Chain A
Amino acid sequence: GENVEQHPSTLSVQEGDSAVIKCTYSDSASNYFPWYKQELGKRPQLIIDIRSNVGEKKDQRIAVTLNKTAKHFSLHITETQPEDSAVYFCAAKGGTSYGKLTFGQGTILTVHP
């Protein structure tokens, strides 16, 4: 089955700096890669996603890049703010049925004012 590895497990940045979180996946048939943000005790919220036919997608301060050959994708957050502090999860949807997502281990992002 699909295996998703996420790094780093923790990331600490100063307000205004950029943050980058990287994920690798194992199933070359995977075709959908969402990123979720989860605040303590809350539900995961989709922040951006990308499909396998696109190499990059941007939404204001957030961008995701995908390298299908290398089977890795990354989340980029620019001009970080304290409210960006949360746990971020990457995920991959394999080519099999029912849209099952395999999640990475999560990255705890802390943005210091």
Chain B
Amino acid sequence: GAVVSQHPSRVICKSGTSVKIECRSLDFQATTMFWYRQFPKQSLMLMATSNEGSKATYEQGVEKDKFLINHASLTLSTLTVTSAHPEDSSFYICSARGVLERGGLVTDTQYFGPGTRLTVL
């Protein structure tokens, strides 16, 4: 249980285009999803927190108009990198926490997706 998928796993795009990344919880209801960015040999940097049905909360320094987050259902959140530039190239990872069993409590544990490698040319 507690599987998170992410699509696409890898994307290469031209500068100026927009890229959408999907994050899905496959076997549980994700009340909260998190989006991270990770540079090579560095830690996970939280970009934003999204709760189903409400606006995302962005971390300081993250442009909300550039990184659009939508959490329309309990199993799906999307991150859209708008007008991507080479400096946006990175490894983007989502994670989810939520209710694993019917009638259960919301877990503290975050389950991570496999990540998306974005390369902007």
Residues of A within 8 A of B (CB): 32, 34, 36, 41-46, 49, 51, 89, 93, 98-106, 108
Find residues 91-121 in chain B having any chain A CB closer than 8 Å to their own CB: 93, 97, 106, 108-115, 117
| Chief secondary structure at chain A's binding surface | strand
Contact B49 A49 (CB under 8 A): no
| Chief secondary structure at chain B's binding surface | strand
Which of A93, A99, A102, A106 has the largest count of B CB atoms less than 10 A from its CB?
A: A99
In the complex, how many angstroms separate the beta carbon of A96 from the nearest chain B beta carbon?
11
**Which residues of A lie under 8 Å from residue B115 when comparing CB positions?**
41-43
Select which of A32, A93, A105 is within 8 A of B43 by beta carbon: A105
Is the CB of B19 closer than 8 A to any CB of chain A?
no
Select which of B43, B49, B93, B111 is within 8 A of A100 by beta carbon: B49
Residues of B within 8 A of A (CB): 32, 34, 41-44, 46, 49, 51, 57, 93, 97, 106, 108-115, 117
Contact B51 A98 (CB under 8 A): yes
In the complex, how many angstroms separate the beta carbon of A70 from the nearest chain B beta carbon?
22
In the complex, how many angstroms separate the beta carbon of B77 from the nearest chain A beta carbon?
13
Which of A34, A49, A103 has the largest count of B CB atoms less than 10 A from its CB?
A: A103
Which of A36, A45, A101 has the largest count of B CB atoms less than 10 A from its CB?
A: A101
Contact A46 B93 (CB under 8 A): no
